[in-house]
Amino acid sequence: MAIDRRHILAFGKIDTPFYFYDMDLFRRTVSGLASLSSRNGIKVHYAVKANTEERLLRHISSYGFGADCVSGNEVEYAVSCGFRPENTVFAGVGKSDREILSSLKLGIGTFNCESLQEIEVVDSLAASLGLTANVSVRINPDIDAHTHKYVTTGLYENKFGISRHEFEPLVELLGRCGSIRLHGLHFHIGSQITDVAEVYGLECRRASEIVRWFEDKGLVIANIDLGGGLGVDYDDPDGNPVADFSTWFRTISSELPLRPGQTVHVEPGRSVVAQCGTLVSRVLFVKSGETKTFLILDAGMNDLIRPALYGAYHKIENLSAMLSSESPADADASGSQIYDVVGPVCESSDVWGAGRLLPRSSRGDIIAIRSAGAYGQVMASRYNLRDLAPAVYSDDLAAAGGDL
């Protein structure tokens, strides 16, 4: 079910901006992920950072997936939303002592450690509590993920992971730590990866070499975590509503040979939640500038910062025009125009899309900013003291007969 006439009529009665979640698509995505991952014997930890809406987390955790967290608060929140502590991973380059201690007390499954110093700290904090911590070591494999430079994580110039020159001291350190147990190796090379077979093929081959190197030193690498990063189709969300989990898992299964007892883990975030979310907004004003026409929306960069922060593309649709045109021919007849679609925030970078061809638009028209389910609501701020856009779920519209 995509956004249809019934939804648009209901949207007309709700204050904008808000995040709309298509729960049918979300459930279809999660169940597809569950069946493909279990068929390929791959363990999934949902990357909580992509979207922390409780309803979504509760549904994901009900499948028995683990949680990949990057702060003490995410760890505690994930557990409160039904993720089992032993299936919860705490990753990130900068964990505070307080966060490490609270996660140790919760009994989380693994700390994905990113530096030698962090391993020493986790070891000594675990010792202070009389506990043993499971640790996976994040390796920087120096691989170009062919993605935006702000979401590339696996190159030596990035702050993430431990690089090759520290492998020998790492082996020596692991031998000395009495309160940690080596769980495995962790790799994550970036986000919004679309060259799936090529990039993950390379990551798997590099991971294999590195795992072999550590095993040759006598370490047991029981778990190999390949991170997240699977891309979604921002250009055509209706054409490709569900990410290509199948190619992702097929590549991993064929390019990463496992020895008996070894398990592969992945941590998808974006691919689970991006396409089910839409930021719904209204046109406040249509302004004719000297050289362009501006469509000024009531949603701004504080609601969804991706375009301003990364120059990210999100498809923009005029839902009111879709409603008023009974057929594509009518839509053409009503005319279209090129707009710079912008937000209300006092920053010149508050632009949803420059030079976008849209149906001729008017004050009050309902505008959809698509593929906003990942890194949307979670990255919102109250800049300019604007209100936070709330979530509206398709289930609730349906329960109200689509007529709120």
- Contacts with ligand LLP by CB under 6 A lie at 47, 50, 68, 91, 151, 153, 188, 191-192, 227-230, 267-271, 306, 375
Nearer to ligand LLP (CB atom), residue 71 or residue 281: 71
Which residues 6+ apart lie within 8 Å of 168 measured at CB? none
Shortest reach from residue 110's CB to ligand LLP, in Å: 12
Nearer to ligand LLP (CB atom), residue 282 or residue 370: 370
Q: Which residue has the tokens 């930021």?
A: 279
C-beta pairs of 199-207 under 8 Å, 24+ apart in sequence: 199/143, 199/145, 199/146, 200/226, 200/248, 200/251, 200/252, 200/255, 201/251, 201/255, 202/143, 203/141, 203/143, 203/154, 204/251, 204/252, 204/255, 204/256, 205/255, 206/141, 206/143, 207/139, 207/141, 207/256
Shortest reach from residue 306's CB to ligand LLP, in Å: 5
3-class DSSP state for residue 54? helix
Nearer to ligand LLP (CB atom), residue 187 or residue 214: 187
The distance in angstroms from the start CA to the end CA of the chain is 19
Shortest reach from residue 109's CB to ligand LLP, in Å: 15
Which residues 6+ apart lie within 8 Å of 298 measured at CB? 16, 17, 281, 282, 284, 344
Shortest reach from residue 125's CB to ligand LLP, in Å: 21
Nearer to ligand LLP (CB atom), residue 79 or residue 283: 79
Shortest reach from residue 190's CB to ligand LLP, in Å: 7
Concatenated DSSP letters of 159-176: S-SB-GGGHHHHHHHHHH
Phi-psi group of 168: left, alpha or beta (phi > 0 → left; psi -120 to 50 → alpha; rest → beta): alpha
Nearer to ligand LLP (CB atom), residue 280 or residue 308: 308
Nearer to ligand LLP (CB atom), residue 183 or residue 306: 306
Nearer to ligand LLP (CB atom), residue 140 or residue 191: 191
Residue type, 96: S
Nearer to ligand LLP (CB atom), residue 118 or residue 365: 118
Shortest reach from residue 284's CB to ligand LLP, in Å: 25
In sign, the C-alpha dihedral spanning 329, 335, 340, 344 is negative
Nearer to ligand LLP (CB atom), residue 295 or residue 308: 308
Shortest reach from residue 309's CB to ligand LLP, in Å: 7
Shortest reach from residue 263's CB to ligand LLP, in Å: 17
Single out the residue of 385, 352, 348 nearest to residue 283, CA to CA.
352
Shortest reach from residue 46's CB to ligand LLP, in Å: 9
